Structure 1
């Protein structure tokens, strides 16, 4: 039966088709394009028309992973020294096989060039500085240039070392190498270096021994007088010794005077020349800089001490900024302390005696100050709260409630006065209650007596009435 689909059905089917392709194929291709060959197309989730494409993509990715592993194996073996290992191109088909062959050819070509260059270097190592190297094509010509440069430098070095050796034997400066380890021109080079360095090393050891003592603080270390032009080393060492001792003496003098409080004493820079004068000027400038900074910082601290917490301090450069940070920290802490103190004072004036400052906002002794404020308020408010509680009980008629807290000084006097007042009031009320009870009892007795008298009077009246009646009867 022929079925006509609506546009919505077509669009839904197309959307599902696109979703399947995106989820099971396109994402794999995008990952592969970014170098991730680990993912594979889910053929079972693809439309039937793209199943073959999915399998082809998976096969290609498998081949790429295999090629990558072969290249990694080849690289590892070459790093281990087996430069004959190649990629087995027969494992691949089509362009991948061509790629593998090209890699093998390229690596083989580079190895061949290296072998030729190393053959020449080997010849140099054997003393043959005339060993030839064929001209290499293109940019590989840099190898020819490098070999020829080494060749020229080695030959020139031999000539120079021979000349320098003769000069050193006449007193102008030399070390030892094992010349028997070399052949040909290298032996000549070694012998020339030995002749020159041997002489210089002996002098350098003596001079460096003195410099080493200088470095350890021994400026009295001696140096034997050297021959010929080498005497300039003696002169240089003595000049350094004199300048170092002089500079140390000046710095010691400056330090002693500063310890005594005379911070205006400076090193006499005119005693020195060159970089020693620069050093002396630098020490003076450095000390002056530190003193100036201290003065500015102390001026700010002095203002704090006088109650001016807004006193400015210029921003110092580099690591000196820690001074600004310290001053500003003190400023912030002091201002925060004032803010909390003002808050507590205003709350107390407003009768808000439960208000406390947040000690956690402060650190160190600043916290101790705030905690002291809070503790002081607690010490005041607690006894007042007890007094308020006792008065409230009194208002409700309970005279058994007294202050029980342990207080000192005026608060102890307040406690005693309140408790004494409550006790006296309780006794007074007890006395009044007793008197009232006695009055009640007396009133009861008076009432009983009155009732007895009233009954007697009634009886007498009845008797009178009877007598009167009798008299009246007798009269009739």
Structure 2
């Protein structure tokens, strides 16, 4: 029993030691597992941490951040990072080359290209493609420049290349520009022709735009505008301003603006010159007002000539034919008019003076005066009437003289007959036959005296009628001269 008890005691001790050993073994196993796990974790971290870092750098580079720091060493991961670092350096160089290309092109160096020889592989191909693309676009631009330059020199026959795809819009745009510039050039040539033609005329014309700003003035108009701005006024530098600003009197400025807007004819006096303004609006094909054209007519000399002619005509109507229109400084229409007026007055004065002299000569009994100067038309008729009147009066006077001579002869015959009768009466006693014969002679003489008396009466009647005709002709001459 004691041995059994001892054995049980030893067995219990052995079992306790076994449990203790087992516990220690478990602790050792657990500790070994934990250590192994820690070691494995350290190994994994040592491998994955560089890989994660490399992956992060790759993501940064892929996102465009070429400034990410890539560490390169002799480890396997470091060797893995070396190509990534080279790729980063290549991309940075590629980016720098693109930025330099942009800067050079912005500076006008359009022939600058990416340095293809400094790149390798796909990067070289990419750079070459970019250079080709850029040069293609530059070629299109330079072609546009060449075409526009040709248009600028007036050569509108040059056409833009027929470009494909969306580039065709450039061709279409340049074709539109070509058409518009050809139309504008034709219009410019036409307008230049009109402007030069207008400037070659001796007329004062100004042209304003829709805002009433002066855009052109003919040379005579530039001289006329010096009345407003003084002798040093330069119309060319005044372009872009309103003409109404030249008027010192606000009323004149308002009248001018109203005339320009309405197209009315306005007369005004500026610096002693009498001006007439004929303003007209200018409309385009759609009827929109695009400007104004104004003709400035200096009527100072015209009005002075009108007044001078009116004064001379009024004086001539009152019988004063001594006035003449001055020809100084008059040309063209007024020169011809003044010369013709003077010629008319000279002719009228000559006709009236000659007629007055003829009538004065008649009143003095001088029937020999005749108008000898040549006249035309009604003046010629007056001359002929006056001369005819003098001729008829001369003939009448001559006939009167002849009739008087005839009367004297008849009286002498009557006296002779009376003497014959007296002699016959004294001799009557001598012979009856002789008396009878004497009576017969006396009867014949009486009949002859009667006939002579009748002739004398007819001549007197004729003389009276011719005198009346001469008086009527003189009256007609006086009336005609009054009408003249």
Asked which structure has the greater RCO (Cα within 8 Å, sep 6+), the reply is 2
Tell me which structure has the larger Cα radius of gyration: 2
Which TM-score applies when normalising by structure 2?
0.34
Which TM-score applies when normalising by structure 1?
0.34
Q: Which structure shows the higher strand fraction?
A: 2
Q: Which structure shows the higher helix fraction?
A: 1
